Copies of this chain bind each other. A is one copy, B any other.
Amino acid sequence: MTQLRERLAELTDLRHAGQLLGWDQQTMMPAGGAASRAEVQATIERISHRLFVEAETGRLLEAAAAELNGAEPDSDDARLVAVVRRRWEKARRVPTELAAEIARAASLGHEAWVGARANSDFSAFAPHLARNVELAHRYTECLPEFERPYDALLDDYEPGVTSEEVTRIFAELRDELVPLIARVSAAEPVDDSYLHESFPVARQRELVDRVLRRMGFARDHWRLDEAAHPFATSFGCDDVRLTTRWDEHYFPGALYGAMHECGHGLYEAGIARSLQRTPLGHAESLGLHESQSRMWENLVGRGRAFARVLAPLVAELTGRPIEPDALFRAVNRVQPSFIRVEADEATYGLHIVLRFELEQELVEGRLRVEELPEAWNARFAEYLGLEVTDDALGVLQDVHWAAGLIGYFPTYALGNLIAGQLWRRVHADVPDLDEQIAAGELSGLREWLREHVHRHGAKFRMPELVQRVTGGPVQVEPFVSYLKDKLGAVYGLDLHDLRGDTQTRNPQGAESD
């Protein structure tokens, strides 16, 4: 066990070096450093992959498993061996040079994307995307045991989940969202003009700092920087890096972006110290990760209770008072829009369904890269009723495909659903949670999440953790029910009578235990 842990500690260190290289590239690096950075990323991946897939790792795993014979199956050691064994079996099927090339192409692709998005120039980005798709395809060819090539990719971000399950869940979600959006769109529009005034970034930063501190951000363990596409990363629980992006003309963008990333950060910061410097010391399931970020961004940040905290802070920024309920309504306006990360919670799911469909078609050769903008725009018009006339507001808006993250998108929508399930569970466990939040006391929620989700790190795969915490599998109903409550309050409607209400269809929801 000791030798295995030493090797895994070294691999974790390499992972942190690679993450720092990525963080720096997205926040600090001058553009000129891109070519050299891609080589360094490739080398770190090559060395790391080589060390991991060595037969010696397998021998150490065997020895550790023998040593553990009879140990508590949920112990750190037993789970460590199980998780590492699974990853090792997958990684060793992939040639080291392919792994390194994927890292190199991701780094170069990211840099090309920054320029292409700034100039709304898909052609500058297309060759990099084509390269990433080709490499993803070669990667999936190494893993023919997955039922579909796309599933080999999805498994990297959501281990143990298949595209078939996601498709089924998303169909159910879409059946809920479409009539919901239609009903709300027919109602009197919410006034959100208050949100669209201009404020200097330095002033917005004060607001964001105050909100993040309430969430748990502490200057001696966290940073907040700017990035073209906001993200969070951590080098263990004591060094958490958040990013957001600032828009002088729309302060909720930076605020909710930062709350979202801080949700990710709290997850990483909450992982047990006993798991640090091991592969269990970082969360594995991105669905769980997004459940945390989306919960803090939306269920807390755009919630009615937190509006009581936010309204006076926002009034300090704007210099004009605002009633908590007016703020609550404004930040929950439902309106189809172009940018996923700024979408309201009802239309958000459709942005994900669109990406999930397109990336499967790309990877499985049913859609060529050069056809992508047209396919994007056609489907966008179909799902969201808007005509995309600028690729920067369309296919170029997200960094993921540029950075080789194909198979990642579905985890956002899964995260929304899991957040809905956890939200119901925590309210059952902490009956006065809304009062706590309204009083600006967020530690009750944070500590509940730490206890039930964060501290486990990568010990449990998402379906298992969701089962442990909520008593059932991933479900659509709690999220949709939450959303109908919220939008009902925002628009003054009763939305629970809508066709397809899963509360009616699934009366035995596992959350009722």
Contacts and interface: CB of A to CB of B under 8 A. Distances in A.
Contacts of A46: 10
A34 to B, nearest CB: 8
A235 B28 CA distance: 13
Interface string A235-249: 110111000000000
B277 A238 contact: no
A326 interface: no
Contacts of A235: 33, 36-37, 40
Contacts of A236: 33, 36
Interface secondary structure of A, over-half rule = helix
Interface string A16-33: 110011001000111111
Contacts of A24: 20, 24
Interface stretch (A220-228, A256-264, A501-509): A220-228
A277 B38 CA distance: 12
A36 B238 contact: yes
A9 B276 CA distance: 31
B277 A36 contact: yes
A30 B222 contact: yes
A32 B240 CA distance: 9
Q: How many copies altogether?
A: 2
Contacts of A17: 17, 20-21, 40, 43-44
A32 B239 CA distance: 6
A10 B239 contact: no
A118 interface: no
Interface string A26-61: 001111110111011011101100000000000000
Given A17-B21, A20-B24, A24-B24, A239 B43 contact: no
A391 interface: no
Contacts of A16: 36, 40
A168 interface: no
Contact of A30 (B37, B40, B47, B223): B223
Interface string A274-289: 0011000000000000
A224 to B, nearest CB: 11
B239 A30 contact: yes
B13 A44 contact: yes
Contacts of A366: none
Interface in A188-236: 219-223, 235-236
A14 interface: yes
Contacts of A238: 30, 32-33, 35-36
A354 B149 CA distance: 67
Contact of A239 (B36, B42, B219, B221): B36
Given A20-B24, A24-B24, A13 B32 contact: no
A219 to B, nearest CB: 7
A236 B29 CA distance: 12
A203 B37 CA distance: 33
Given A10-B47, A47-B47, A221 B40 contact: no
A30 B21 CA distance: 16
A17 B16 CA distance: 10
* Most chain B CB atoms below 10 A, which of A10, A42, A219: A10
A39 B20 CA distance: 14
Contacts of A35: 238
B220 A43 contact: no
Contacts of A37: 235, 239
A18 to B, nearest CB: 8
B277 A30 contact: no
A3 to B, nearest CB: 15
Given A13-B43, A30-B240, A32-B220, 6 more contacts: A14-B47, A16-B40, A30-B238, A35-B238, A36-B239, A47-B47
30 contacts: A9-B43, A13-B40, A13-B42, A13-B43, A14-B44, A16-B36, A16-B40, A17-B21, A17-B43, A20-B40, A24-B24, A28-B223, A30-B220, A30-B221, A30-B223, A30-B239, A31-B220, A32-B239, A33-B221, A33-B235, A33-B236, A33-B238, A33-B239, A36-B236, A36-B238, A36-B239, A36-B277, A37-B239, A39-B277, A40-B235
Sorted nearest first, the 6 A-B pairs with minimum C-beta distance are A33-B239, A13-B43, A32-B221, A32-B238, A36-B236, A13-B40
